[in-house]
Structure 1
Amino acid sequence: MASPFFFIKKDNGSLRAIQDYQKLNEGTIKNKYPLPLINELIDKVKGAKYITKLDVHWGYYNIQLRDGDEWKAAFRTNLGLFEPTVMFFGLCNAPATFQTFVDEIFKELIYLDQHRKLIVEVLKIMQEHHLYLKPQKCEFKTQTVKYLGHIIGNGEVHMDPKKTLAVRDWPKPTNQKELQQFLGLGNWLRHFIKDYSLVVKLLTALTGKAVWDWSGEAD
C-alpha cells in the first residue's frame, strides 16, 4: 500500500507536504476519543484575565508511529517509496491521537489557577516530552488573542478583520463548486450574524440545483 504525495503552497510562500491517505483511511478503525468543540473553547477563554497562546512546532510529527506499522502510511514520490516514522497530517486518527497525548501529559495541570505558574509547568512538561514551540506564533500573558479566525478577550469575541475582508472580497461564484467554497469560508460568520441561515438561504438552495442559475437577488 502506498499513498499519493504532493505539495501545496502556504501563505508565506513555503511548501506544505501532503499525503493523500483517503484509501488508507477508508480501511482504518476510527478512534472515537472526544475532541474539544471550538465554540466551547472560545467561551472558556474569552473571559480570562490573561491569555497565553502556544504553537507547537511540527504538531502531529511529535507522535511516533508504532514499530512495524510504518508501511501502512507509506507514500510514493518520483524519488521512490518512503515509510514515515512519525504521524502525518491526513491520517484519520491523527487528531484524536494527538488530543489524547496532550490531555495525558497535561492532566495534572487543569486545576492550576495562577497563570504564571501554569505556564511554567506547561513549558516544563513540553521540554520533558521534547515538544518545541514556534516563537513567532506564541503570545504570553496578553488580554486579547487571535484564535481560529476570532479575536478573543476581555469577555468578548470578535471577527478577525482579515477574515471578514476575505469574505467581502470573494469573487462572484460562477458555478456550484465556487459557491460551496464561498459558503464554507463564510460559515464561520454564522455566530456573529442573526438569522444567518435565512441570510444564506437562497445561496444554499443554489448548491442543490441541477442547473446553475445565478440571479440579481443572489448578489
Structure 2
Amino acid sequence: NCNEYFLSGNDLQKHLRAECYSDQIRKQILNSTKHIENPKYQLAIQDILWGNKILFDPTPSTINIPPQSAINTGDHLPIYSKQYPASYKDQDIKFQETQKLLERKKDKTMRFCIDYRRLNAITIKDAFPLPRIDEIFDQLSDAIYYTKFDFKSGYFQVPLSKEDRPRTAFSTRDNHYQFTVLPQGITNGPATFQRVINHILGPARWQYALAYIDDIIIYSKTFEEHVSHLNDICTILKNARFRLNPDKCEIARTQTDYLGHNIKHGEIRPSPTNINGLLNTRLPQTPDEACKFVKAAEYYRKFIPKFSQIAEPLRKFVPTTR
C-alpha cells in the first residue's frame, strides 16, 4: 500500500527492513528498556538500540568472516548412518540419512537436530580453550550494570568452509542436503564459535564484555560507563552482521542470570531455578544417575562447604572409568 515500485528483490528487502520492521523493532526496544526508571537513562539506551536496530532484523544473516573449518576428519573415509524411524505425522518434516531427531523447545516449536556422534568420533578435536567460569565471575563481581545478549540461532550465523560442508550431509525422502553454516551438534562447534566471538569482540574482552560460547554479557561499574560499553559492543556486532533475539536479551540490568548464576549488584549466587532442579532430582538409582547428579552439583561446589566429603558416598558408586 506504499505505492512504490522496486527494480529488484534487494530493493524491496531494503524497503521492508527500513519501513515494515520499524514498528515491531520499536516495540521490542521499548519493551526491553521499560524497567529503566530514569527517563534520561532510558532514552540514552533506546537511542543506542534504535541506532543499531539492524541487530534485531529477523531476516537470516551470516556474519562477514571467512568460512570456518570445524570438521577435520583427516584421512578417514566418509561415513553413512541409517535413518531413525519416523511417525507418519513427522514424515513431512523429519529428515533422514545421518541420524536426525526433532526436539521440542520450551516455546513448543521444534528444533531440527542431527545425531553427529559417528562424525564426532572421527573428528580431530579442536583444543581452542573456553573461558574459565571462575575467572568470568571474578570479572563480573566488580560490576553493577549488565546487558546480556542472545544470538538468534548463533551457530547458523557462522559460515562453514566448502571442504566441511559435505561432512554435514543429510537427506530427506526427496533430496540430499548439506549445511552451509555451522551446524549444532558437532564436537568442534563450541570451540569454533568461541574463536569467532573472541576475535570479533577483540580488546573489549575482559575489559567490559565477555562471551562463553554464544552467551555474551556486557558489564560496567556505572550507568554512564554502561551506555558507552553498550554502544561499543552493539557497533561491533552490527559491523560483524550478527543478529540478536530481542525477546531473550536483557538490557542495562542490575540483576541477571548468567551461566547458571544470579548476579545482583556484584553479588553472585547460584541460580534459584537450577538449585530447585537439583533439589527436585530423585535419589540416584544407578551409578550413571549418581555420576550425573554429582557433576551437576559440583558446578556449585564453591557455595557448598565440605563438598568433597558430602559427595564422597555418591562418588563410591561412580565408575572409575568415567
Q: State the TM bucket, normalised to the shorter chain.
A: 0.7 to 0.9
Would the alpha carbon gap of residues 14 and 191 (structure 1) be closer, same or farther in structure 2, given more than 3 Å must change?
A: farther
Give the match for residue 217 of structure 1.
Answer: none
Give the match for residue 30 of structure 1.
Answer: 125
CA contact (8 A) 1:5 1:77 kept: no
Residues 44-71 of structure 1: per-residue CA shift (max 9 Å, x gap): 1122021111111111111111124211
Give the match for residue 233 of structure 2.
Answer: 122
CA distance in 1 between counterparts of 2:317 and 2:203 reads 50
Give the match for residue 187 of structure 1.
Answer: 298
Give the match for residue 27 of structure 2.
Answer: none
Give the match for residue 174 of structure 1.
Answer: 285
Task: Output the TM-score relative to the length of structure 2.
Answer: 0.59
CA distance in 2 between counterparts of 1:184 and 1:170 reads 13
Map 1:33-52 onto structure 2 (within 5 A): 33-52=128-147
Task: Output the TM-score relative to the length of structure 1.
Answer: 0.85
Does 2:257 correspond to 1:162? no
Map 1:50-61 onto structure 2 (within 5 A): 50-61=145-156
Residues 12-51 of structure 1: per-residue CA shift (max 9 Å, x gap): 3332222222222222222222211122111211220211
CA contact (8 A) 1:105 1:125 kept: yes
Aligned residues: 209
CA distance in 2 between counterparts of 1:161 and 1:86 reads 35
- 1:158 is paired with a residue of what secondary structure? strand
RMSD: 2.2
Long gaps (5+) in structure 1? 210-219
CA distance in 2 between counterparts of 1:178 and 1:108 reads 42
Does 2:201 correspond to 1:109? no
Per-residue deviation at 1:159?
A: 1.4
CA distance in 2 between counterparts of 1:206 and 1:180 reads 8
CA distance in 2 between counterparts of 1:135 and 1:87 reads 22
- 1:177 is paired with a residue of what secondary structure? helix
1:143 to 242, 246, 254: 254
- 1:25 is paired with a residue of what secondary structure? helix
- 1:200 is paired with a residue of what secondary structure? helix
- 2:269 is paired with a residue of what secondary structure? strand
CA distance in 2 between counterparts of 1:157 and 1:109 reads 22
Give the match for residue 214 of structure 1.
Answer: none
Aligned residue identity for 2:247 = Q
Aligned residue identity for 2:185 = G
CA distance in 1 between counterparts of 2:107 and 2:301 reads 28
CA distance in 2 between counterparts of 1:173 and 1:109 reads 44
- The answer to which of 5-14 and 42-51 deviates more is 5-14
CA distance in 2 between counterparts of 1:128 and 1:186 reads 40
User: What percentage of aligned pairs have identical amino acids?
Assistant: 29
Per-residue deviation at 1:79?
A: 5.5
Residues 96-127 of structure 1: per-residue CA shift (max 9 Å, x gap): 21112112122143457732122112112222
Displacement over 4 Å in runs of 4+: 76-80, 110-113
Aligned residue identity for 2:201 = F
- 2:150 is paired with a residue of what secondary structure? coil
Would the alpha carbon gap of residues 168 and 64 (structure 1) be closer, same or farther in structure 2, given more than 3 Å must change?
A: same
Long gaps (5+) in structure 2? 1-78, 81-97, 209-219
Per-residue deviation at 1:207?
A: 2.5
Would the alpha carbon gap of residues 62 and 38 (structure 1) be closer, same or farther in structure 2, given more than 3 Å must change?
A: same
CA contact (8 A) 1:179 1:207 kept: yes
